Amino acid sequence: MFRKVIGALVLGVLCGGIAFAEEIRGVIFKVDGDKVTFAKSEKKGETGDKKVYDAKGAKVVKGVFNKDTKKLEAGDAIEGGLQATQLKDIGEKGVRATIDADGDKIKQIILFGGKKAAN
């Protein structure tokens, strides 16, 4: 009986942790070390208030559009992570991205496109 109760508690904690993680679409405006300034997309072309998230240990990946599900999914990891060229010298319009956040902590960043290499 005791093992069943402990098992149920462990399962509840794991499911609860997953439930609190949130996928947010928006724009990254600044990356400063492990801190990311991000604003949630509101209406088409508009963003909400900027908020600073802790991205220490966050995985940075390319976004891949799945034609079957019609959703953006995580693709290959981007070399350099938070120091990648796509996240350096971000212009005033920012970089479109989806973040997987748990409160103020980012677990994963999915980038849409990015900067092109200089010739």
pLDDT in tens, 23-39: 899 999 999 999 999 99
Residue (of 6, 17, 5, 35) closest to 106 by Cα position: 35
Check: CB of residue 67 under 8 Å from CB of residue 57: no
Paired sense of beta strands 35-41 and 22-32, if any: antiparallel
- Higher-confidence position of 110 and 17: 110
Residue (of 34, 54, 52, 44) closest to 96 by Cα position: 44
Residue (of 99, 93, 21) closest to 59 by Cα position: 99
Question: If DSSP codes are grouped into helix, strand and coil, which group holds residue 89?
Answer: coil
Query: Does pTM surpass 0.75?
Result: no
- Residue 116: pLDDT band (50, 70, 90) is very low
What pLDDT score does 48 carry?
87
pLDDT in tens, 74-101: 888 888 888 888 888 888 888 999 999 9
